[in-house]
Amino acid sequence: MTTIILNHQPYDGTDVTWNALRLAKTLFKSGESVNIFLMNDAVDLAREKTPKPNNYDYDLVEMLKIMYSDGINLQVCGTCNARCGLFKNEPYFDASISSTMPILADWVIKSDKVISF
C-alpha to C-alpha distances, 44 to 21, 29, 100, nearest whole angstrom: 14, 25, 16
Q: What's the order of all strands across the beta sheet hosting 2-6?
A: 98-99, 73-77, 34-38, 2-6, 113-116
8-52 confidence digits (pLDDT tens): 999 999 999 999 999 999 999 999 999 999 999 999 999 999 999
The CATH number of whichever domain residue 33 belongs to comes to 3.40.1260.10
pLDDT tens digits, one per residue of 75-100: 999 999 999 999 999 999 999 999 99
pLDDT of residue 29: 98
How many separate domains does the chain show? 1
pTM here is 0.96
Residue-range definition of the domain harbouring residue 88: 2-116
